[in-house]
Amino acid sequence: MNFTVSDVIVESEIITSFLLTPEAPLKRDFVPGEYLLFESSSDEGDPIRREYSISGVRDGDIRITIKREVAPEQDLPHGVMSTRFHDVVKKGDIVRAAGPMGAFKLDRTSDRPVVLLSGGVGLTPVVAMAHDLAGTSRQTIFIHACENGRVHALGAEMRQLAREHENIVNHFLYRAPTAEDVKGRDYNTEGMISRKLIEDLTPGCDCDFYLCGPGPFMTAMYDMLHDMGVATDRIAYEFFGPATVLRPKTAEPNKAPTPAEGGPTVAFKQSGVQVAWDPAEQNLLEFAEEHGIMVDFSCRAGSCDTCKTRVLKGDVSYPIEPFERPGPGYALLCCCVPDGDLELDI
């Protein structure tokens, strides 16, 4: 649907928020952690879709908070959508988006303490979670790491939230504070998130952990939590770039599947692999990877189409509804499971 940009708020040197008024009520209330999928077109007219997490709401408007993605090297292009938002989109403009959607959601049914761990612009979905948790009986510890005060977004807002709600505690880490950054006022610790810091700040392993940040941050946090003894089903995470599946580094790679007796068989034709479907797997993308078959992917959430694959025989069903189901004869592997024996063209 269309959204009108009702305000543009500069949050830091590289991060800006956009308040959006939907033209009609959203199909349902968003759950903190979810995102909207934005659509635009390239200069050549090709569709461009990018996900932006909902970082909050104000007077019924949805807020998204976007980092400007600059080119890693001269001669390469800057990020298409983020640059467009930063340089072109202004108050009063119309933008198009679908949603809310996504699998990274605050579990509101749990009564465990919550630990929110974010790096850089990865704070956007967890800030929405912190707002939802404010004033509840759940102890909430928000640990955020970034470079310094120049790029730190939503810091004042989170400090105010913690002042107003005693169940919220913030801890900000700056990797390289500038001369203007004051310890105790702007940030708490210089450096990176360590195991000791998490152990000191949290009530232990029996918490719900939510992680969002750059790839290396996510891997480091996941491994750290696993080493501390946090159960994997207590760790929820979202990647902002090409997604991957985090698994404990001590896990046995390519574990043998435990197929259901008489369950479906999945044949990967080009790879010459035929295996019994493991009903414990979330989707066919993860199942293929378990068997060493590397499929191209990006979002792993049913919005980018990268893992779209030809189905040669059989059918699939979608426990996770993608943004758009592929046409007949194709499957979006990140969202589907086999519906009987299946042959895929990979």
Q: Which residues bind ligand FAD (CB under 6 A)?
A: 35, 50-53, 65-67, 69-72, 76-83, 102, 121, 124, 238, 240, 299, 301
Q: Which two tokens stand for residue 108?
A: 């509101």
- The least CB distance from residue 14 to ligand FAD, in Å, is 9
Confirm if 53 and 64 have CB atoms less than 8 A apart. Answer: yes
Cα 55 vs. chain centroid, distance in angstroms? 12
- The least CB distance from residue 40 to ligand FAD, in Å, is 9
- The least CB distance from residue 232 to ligand FAD, in Å, is 20
Q: Decide: helix, strand or coil at residue 84.
A: helix
Q: Which is nearer to ligand FAD, 138 or 152 (CB)?
A: 152
State which residue has the least CB distance to ligand FAD: 79
Q: What share of the chain is helix, strand, coil (3-state, %, to 5)?
A: 20, 30, 50
* Separation in Å, CA 43 to CA 76, 80, 84: 16, 10, 12
If we measure between CA atoms, which residue out of 236, 244, 217 comes closest to residue 298? Answer: 244
- The least CB distance from residue 252 to ligand FAD, in Å, is 28
- The least CB distance from residue 106 to ligand FAD, in Å, is 15
Q: Which is nearer to ligand FAD, 86 or 138 (CB)?
A: 86
Q: Which is nearer to ligand FAD, 155 or 338 (CB)?
A: 155
Q: Which is nearer to ligand FAD, 18 or 277 (CB)?
A: 18
Q: Which is nearer to ligand FAD, 12 or 124 (CB)?
A: 124
- The least CB distance from residue 64 to ligand FAD, in Å, is 6
- The least CB distance from residue 120 to ligand FAD, in Å, is 9
Provide the 10 A C-beta neighbour count for residue 27: 11
- The least CB distance from residue 312 to ligand FAD, in Å, is 29
Q: Decide: helix, strand or coil at residue 34.
A: coil
Q: Which is nearer to ligand FAD, 76 or 256 (CB)?
A: 76
Q: Which two tokens stand for residue 139?
A: 């102890």
Q: Which is nearer to ligand FAD, 22 or 259 (CB)?
A: 22
Written as one string, the DSSP assignment of 235-276 is EEEEESSS------TTSPTTPPP-PPTT--EEEETTTTEEEE
Q: Which is nearer to ligand FAD, 99 or 149 (CB)?
A: 99
Provide the 10 A C-beta neighbour count for residue 43: 6
Cα 72 vs. chain centroid, distance in angstroms? 22
User: How far apart are the C-alpha atoms of 307 and 108, rounded to whole Å?
Assistant: 31
Beta bridge partners of 239: 213
Provide the 10 A C-beta neighbour count for residue 310: 13
- The least CB distance from residue 127 to ligand FAD, in Å, is 10
Cα 290 vs. chain centroid, distance in angstroms? 22
Rounded to the nearest 5°, which phi and psi values hold at 237?
-150, 160
Q: Which is nearer to ligand FAD, 265 or 298 (CB)?
A: 298
Confirm if 306 and 286 have CB atoms less than 8 A apart. Answer: no
